[in-house]
Structure 1
Amino acid sequence: MAQQQQQKKKKKKTFRAIEVGDGADGRWAAHVQAQWPQMETWLTEEGRTPAGRTEARALFEAHLPELVPVLDRLSAQVDRPDGETLLTHAAIRPFFSGCTQIGTRQSLLCNYDFNPADCEGTLVSSHFLRPVIGMQDAGWGLLDGMNDAGLAVSLTFGGRFVHRPGLAILIVLRYLLETCDTVDQALAKLAPIPICIPQNVTLVDAARAVTVYVGPDIAMTEAPDACAANHQDRPVPAEQEQFTRTQERLAAVRAAGPDVAAMLRPPLYQGAYDDGLGTLYTAHYRPGEGRVTYHWPSESWTQSFDDFTEGVRSVALGPTG
């Protein structure tokens, strides 16, 4: 009885899998229109001004040129006053999440930790420039994903509360997957892009896996290994460590290696949902196979380029037992 009562108290999160093609036939637009009331809260006040709109467009064009035709196609379908600006991801409020990730050749494993109410939870198969599958947020940005060339990427917050003009990492991950075949190509594209807050990016292909530190106040720097939690090349303050346990989690994921079971247990699996640090899902990408499995303690959901199935899952969050 006690266990049943505990299960009743668990938070639930609904995840959707949708296919949107190249974004031209209305499927993407219908989904985003339904999400718009929440999405538009991401936009900064400056981004709502004429000068802010112009600056956001210019930043996008300068650093993500191959995606400009896609931006135009998608923003025309949204048909909102600030639709184009929001979709540039160049005027988005800073967001600070948890997350832990580890990469090896042909494998990327990550926990995404955030407030359940603020995460879109949409697994999207798209073909804007090429086939890409990933967890979408803020319209067409990606929290993690892979492409048909066997490249996979994911993010974690870099732990330093610095914010300057730049692009949100969500659209940059989309850009890397849409335009690159390999880790080396992606690193070359990523290095000059201004990122608005500190982020750690793990990239995996058939030949290598690497984590890099990026941010508005640092040059892109390669991490010691393909692992990341929520700090970069320096420890966080003691109070922040107590709250996020970032160094503890990094040590734990290094010790465990690419182990799904370990990612579903504390300290890697977190339950502080009300503080925005609860684990929403564990994603295991095998980009060489074109396959990803999303794991929760009580179930999993596999999708691939060869067999992508639309659907809805309502999952219980939090550890079992």
Structure 2
Amino acid sequence: MRQQRKTFRAIEVGDGGDGRWAAYARGLWQEMEGLLTEEGRTAEGADRVRALFRAHMPELVPVLDRLAGQLDRPEAEAFLTHAALRPFSQGCTQIGGNGTLLRNYDLRPDQCEGTIVSSCLLRPVIGMQDLLWGLLDGMNDAGLAVSLTWGGRSVYGRGFAILILVRYLLERCDTVDEAVDRVRFLPVAVPQNLTLVDPKKAMTVFVGPDISPTVAPDACAANHQHLPVTDEQERAMRTQERLRAIRAAGADVAAMLRPPLYRSVDEHGSRTLYTARYQPIEGRVTYYWPGESWQQSFGDFAPGSRTVTLGGAG
């Protein structure tokens, strides 16, 4: 049995302008800046991604300016657009229904910030933050919750990292239908699956640089989309096995904490890092690990940290 410890933090950043977000981001900047593409480091590239951000997410431009100005780094603005980042992929499983969004997030422990953030950039949002202000999953005060999984295809194009799209949808949308309408006009760099939940509806949408947003057969997702999964991909990711398992289990936290949904460490060091159960109607999220949980809500958000044991056999 190979186990590993990881510390998760919970922080409040308000509207991002009072220094709390900046203190957090400056501490991570050195390890983050290497994810910026060479194009994003040029004046022409920075202009391009700024224009792309302004065209597609104009409501967030004042927030972008506010955050980038506090970092005081020449590449900060281009980085924070999330439109000039090196492609990355994660293995995850998620399901939505009956006002609940349940997901497992899988990655190498050292590649995940592990920061639960309560913010009010445009409206109250709580989620698992990554890449300084993007979100792996989250919910807003309207009762909308969104999470992502990698789409399983090695395709890359011009567009945004999915993390900033999750942030944008939660900042601007009240319902699943409104979010899906907006997704149709947002270019994404890498194939991804979005699962969205509100009080009345749950849906998964396949997105990517080479496809139009496509509604999945049900509100479940692992790490494939509309194309057949190769034997090699299934051996590496067990994506079809996980999708069958979550469809059979439904929104069952106990099932998420055991194989095949709970993934032990693989040859790349990736493993399940946390399970999140969003109940956005109640404004509540609970994060789970083997033998431990941590609840946060809009009404009772508690900053702090937890060092947890990640289970699984090596």
Same fold (TM over 0.5): yes
Say whether the 8 Å CA contact 2:265–2:312 is kept in structure 1.
Answer: no
**Do the aligned partners of 2:109 and 2:270 also contact (CA within 8 Å) in 1?**
no
CA distance in 1, matches of 2:148, 2:33: 22
CA deviation map 1:98-152 (0-9, x unaligned): 0000000310000000010010000000000000000000010000000000000
Secondary structure of 1:307 counterpart: coil
Instruction: State the distance in 2 between where 1:141 and 1:56 align.
Output: 16
Give a deviation string over 1:47-75, Cα, whole Å, max 9, x none: 11111101110111111110000000000
Q: 1:96 aligns with which of 71, 81, 89?
A: 89
Amino acid at match of 2:168: Y
Equivalenced residues, count: 313
User: TM-score when scaled to structure 1?
Assistant: 0.96
1:271 aligns with 2:264: yes
1:281-300 equivalences in 2 (<5 Å): 281-300=274-293
- Asked if structure 2 preserves the Cα contact closer than 8 Å seen for 1:297 and 1:319, the reply is no
C-alpha distance in structure 1 between counterparts of 2:148 and 2:228, whole Å = 19
- Pairing partner for 1:82 from 68, 71, 75: 75
1:133 partnered with 2:126: yes
Shift in alpha-carbon separation, 1:137–1:236, aligned structure 2, 3 A: same
Deviation (angstroms), 1:274: 5.1
How far the C-alpha of 1:236 sits from its partner, in A, is 1.9
Mapped partners of 1:318, 1:177: distance in 2: 31
Corresponding residue of 1:32? 25
**Are positions 1:259 and 2:224 aligned together?**
no
Matched residue, 1:304: 297
1:240 deviates by 1.0
Report the Cα distance in structure 2 between the residues aligned to 1:150 and 1:276, rounded to whole angstroms: 35
User: What is residue 180 of structure 2 aligned with on the other side?
Assistant: 187
- The 2-side partners of 1:82 and 1:319 are apart by 39
What are the superposed Cα offsets for residues 267-300 of structure 1, whole Å, 9 maximum, x if unpaired? 0000125525300000000000000000001200
After superposition, what is the alpha-carbon deviation per residue over 1:228-254, rounded to whole angstroms, capped at 9, x for unaligned?
Answer: 000001222111110100000000000
Q: CA RMSD in A?
A: 1.0
Q: Distance in 1 between matches of 2:159 and 2:229?
A: 23
| Range with bigger deviation, 272-281 or 180-189 | 272-281
Between the aligned partners of 1:273 and 1:131, the Cα distance in structure 2 is 36
The residue number in structure 2 matching 1:116 is: 109
Q: 2:3 touches 2:312 (CA, 8 Å); kept in 1?
A: no
What is aligned with 1:177? 170
State the secondary structure of the residue aligned to 1:265: coil
Letter in 1 for 2:91: G
Q: TM-score, with normalisation over the residues of structure 2?
A: 0.98
Q: Matched residue of 2:228: which SS?
A: coil
Residues 244 and 277 of structure 1 are in contact (CA less than 8 Å); yes or no, is this contact kept in structure 2?
A: no
Gaps of 5+ in 1: 1-5
Gaps of 5+ in 2: none
Instruction: State the partner residue of 1:236.
Output: 229
Q: Does structure 2 conserve the Cα–Cα contact (< 8 Å) formed by 1:10 and 1:318?
A: yes
**Equivalent of residue 105 in structure 1, options 84, 98, 101:** 98
1:207 is paired with a residue of what secondary structure?
coil
Tell me the SS of whatever aligns to 2:52. Answer: helix
CA contact (8 A) 2:159 2:188 kept: yes
CA contact under 8 A between 1:111 and 1:269: conserved in structure 2?
A: yes
Provide the rounded CA distance (Å) in 2 between the counterparts of 1:203 and 1:294: 18
Partner of 1:313: 306
Q: Structure 1 CA distance, aligned partners of 2:215 and 2:140?
A: 22
Shift >3 Å, 4+ stretches: none
